[in-house]
């Protein structure tokens, strides 16, 4: 069993309140879950209205499949025009960890 995680550091565009921030982040989380079958959540910077830390996690039997899905998730988030992807951190945990 392998566990993969992505951590996205996002800068949001024209957002002036936490309510507007949620209206940008929630659809991204829902799309990741529905389209790629991963679990996602806002995992940090909840009090900042123009920044977001988004976490994505997945479990798989094979690292190849895990990396393929995480790559698709990363491309999907990077392609969003309303956000700027500042950094991505990837972690893979396997049986040896």
pLDDT tens-digit series, residues 26-62: 999 999 999 999 999 998 877 788 899 999 999 999 9
**pLDDT at position 95, please?**
85
Question: Distance (Å, rounded) from C-alpha 3 to C-alpha 34?
Answer: 19
**C-alpha distance from residue 39 to each of 14, 28, 33, 48, 93 (Å):** 26, 11, 6, 22, 16
Cα separation, 3 vs 54, in Å, equals: 17
Residue with tokens 């659809």: 27
Mean pLDDT of the chain: 92
Task: Check pLDDT > 80 for residue 16.
Answer: yes
So what's the pLDDT on residue 61?
93
């Amino acid at each position: 069993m392998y566990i993969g995680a992505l951590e996205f550091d996002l800068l949001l565009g024209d957002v002036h309140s936490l309510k507007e921030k949620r209206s940008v982040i929630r659809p991204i989380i829902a799309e990741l879950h529905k389209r790629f079958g991963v679990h996602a959540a806002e995992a940090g910077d909840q009090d900042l209205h123009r920044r977001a830390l988004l976490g994505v996690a997945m479990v798989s039997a094979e690292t190849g499949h895990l990396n393929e899905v995480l790559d698709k998730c990363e491309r999907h988030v990077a392609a969003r025009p309303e956000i700027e992807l500042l950094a991505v951190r990837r972690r893979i945990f396997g049986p040896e960890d």
